[in-house]
Amino acid sequence: MDDQFPNLRVSGHPLLRHKMRLLSDRMTDARTFRDLVSEITSLLIYEATTDLPVRRVTYDTPLESTEGFEIDARVALVPILRAGLGMVPASLDALPGSVVRHLGLFRDEQTHQPVSYYNKLPKRCEEDLVIVLDPMLATGGSATAAFETLKACGAPRIVFIGIVAAPEGVRAALEQHPDVIIHVARFDRQLNADAYIVPGLGDAGDRMFGTL
């Protein structure tokens, strides 16, 4: 937890720190980049869902009847297109009962403001928890727009899972949505003049899909 941003959670797990070094390396190819995004997402999902509610159930092992627990929450995964798509498979592996909704937002390279081009959210959110997936939290524009759209649909609780964030983006997102918890693998120094995170890892979508 950062004192300046109490709702920011930056993982200090050694595995994530190791994988982030590999992910950020300019020599990492697209296939390895995608694999690392998936592995990092799995670890972040694990940390971000430690407070999911559970219910007690009775079931049979091969030896006897006993009691155990199962998740007692409806979860929606909302990747922000296109880079967020790379985080979906690992998220579904961890939460196979989830539904996936899609939001398409891109950053205008002149204004650095988010532009919406695709929205497949329901008119009314029926899930208990919505997890927004986007590798980068740079200016915070896309995340903030996603939170606003989800709240307009009635989302009761929103969690953001990213991979790398800049202070400017976290500040912008949490100033407007202080109820959202942000989980990232690394909190970087700042944005550069082109609003890219530095030291960063480049454009996550381009590196993931080999479109550099």
Given the residues 34, 35, 74, 206, the one annotated as active site: 206
Query: Distance between CA 156 and CA 94 in Å, rounded?
Result: 21
Count of alpha carbons within 13 Å of 132, Cβ hemisphere only? 29
Known catalytic membership, residue 107: yes
Query: Distance between CA 61 and CA 59 in Å, rounded?
Result: 7
Given the residues 107, 128, 157, 171, the one annotated as active site: 107
Whether residue 89 is preceded by a cis peptide bond, meaning omega within 30 degrees of 0, is no
Burial class (CB in 10 A: 0-12, 13-18, 19+), 75: buried
| H-assigned helices in 68-109 | 88-94
> 């950020």: which residue's tokens?
24
Query: Distance between CA 148 and CA 178 in Å, rounded?
Result: 12
Known catalytic membership, residue 51: no
Given the residues 2, 93, 111, 189, the one annotated as active site: 111
* Contact call for residues 37 and 19 (beta carbons, < 8 A): no
Known catalytic membership, residue 203: yes
| H-assigned helices in 84-135 | 88-94
Residue positions annotated with a catalytic role: 107, 111, 203, 206
